[in-house]
Amino acid sequence: MDTLLNWGIEIIVWLQQASPALDGLFRVFTHLGDEPFFLVFLPIIIWCVDYNRGLRLTVLFLFSAYLNSFAKVLAGQPRPFEFDPRAKKLVEAGGFGLPSGHTQSTVTIWGFIAARFKNRLTLILATVLIIMIPLSRIYLGVHFPTDVIGGYILGFIILFLFLKLESPIINWLKNQGLLVQLALAIILPTLLMLIFPGSVMDSIPTCATLMGATIGLALSNKWIELDTDGAWWKRVLRYLVGMIIVSLFYFGLKVVFKNLEPAAAYRFVRYTLVGFSIVFLAPWVFTKIKL
């Protein structure tokens, strides 16, 4: 393993010869793979492009993020700048490195978009991002090339399985009653949180958001008929109203719950409401105010 990591350091040092000239370019690409970016991007798909595909994409993203965190804890591999000081850390990064979360998320998100929104623009955009975002992580000194390869492998496996199983699982769920759907929405994320090998605080954002999103998904099948078409100004207004609602939970509850104990419980409530507001509450408001 040390041989591979040393080889990775040499690649990073070679790439960073272009620093600082290319720092800005690669920072832009790396931010397109950050989780906060997906928090503002996924609602665009759900609320303004295609409600059903957006919901599936959100569930895929959350499952992928959970599995990435799980794999990182099991691998326990350091970041390049922790392994060898010759690798300069050009952006902030914490936790373990293998597999690369940016790489895995980019593959799953943009791979799904390319597969389900079949046009030349999405294919070109997906290809560029799937190449450049992982490369940016190596250049910026926060991932070894092997971390990126691991992210590619896990990301493509998750994407392949999701595309294969997506329709059968959805068809099965549609035949189940609301109580069964709600029970699954609560039990599955709870089990994922309980079996997580690291700190429970680290698993809460993905598991709680998944719970809120899947509860919202179960309820939306019964009470939401969101039409994502319409004039451009309606879509923009829909997005702005929705982000205000989500921000009230994401940022507002962070302030309200600050220093309250038990911290894990309040953190869980906050992220559950964030997932629920994206999938159900905001679309419900859109239908009530004729957006």
pLDDT in tens, 60-78: 999 999 999 999 999 999 9
pTM: 0.92
pLDDT in tens, 186-242: 999 999 999 999 888 889 999 999 999 999 999 987 788 778 888 889 999 999 999
pLDDT in tens, 17-38: 998 999 999 999 999 998 888 8
- Average pLDDT rounded to a whole number, residues 114-126: 92
CA distances from 222 to 173, 206, 284 (A): 13, 25, 11
